[in-house]
Amino acid sequence: MSSGFVVDASVGFSWVYQSQATNDTDALLNDVVSGAAVVVPTLWFFEIANVLLIAERRKKLTAAQRKAALKSLEALTLNIDEEGHRSAFRKTSEISDKYGLSIYDGTYLELALRRKLPIASRDEPLRAAAKKAGVDVL
């Protein structure tokens, strides 16, 4: 079990949308359920809610499946980072610019760097940027 990590929305989505799940994302979910200290920015909740709503609108999920997914994610014990917004205009913007990331992806990388935690992501540009920045990628 991982002792703690930052998780992005791509992994969170895979926890409730089976076609996106992998053995690695399932193992990470098992870590969460087992009590790993998972840290997410407040942005995570908006991204997950948005991607699930889009999936429903595109008829990839029913309304009932979306609501069940939200309820399932809501039941997880996650540590919410309340400090990230303070660095959006400076550190996160600098990281995003340096590594060619969106501010959204830069938010996860800034959090991992600040908390000195590995990051779990399925997003290849974010994974590559994290490796360049010296962050362990799960």
- For the chain, what are the domain ranges? 4-132
What is the amino acid identity at position 45? F
- Specify whether the backbone of 121 is left (phi greater than 0), alpha (psi in -120 to 50) or beta: beta
| Count of CB atoms situated within 10 Å of the CB of 33 | 13
4-132 architecture in CATH? 3-Layer(aba) Sandwich (3.40)
The pLDDT tens digits of the residues spanning 1-37 come to 456 899 999 999 999 988 888 899 999 999 999 888 9
In this structure, of 45-59, 81-95, 103-117, the range with the lowest mean pLDDT score is 81-95
Per-residue confidence (pLDDT) for residue 137, from 0 to 100: 96
Q: Is 136 helix (H, G, I), strand (E, B) or coil?
A: coil
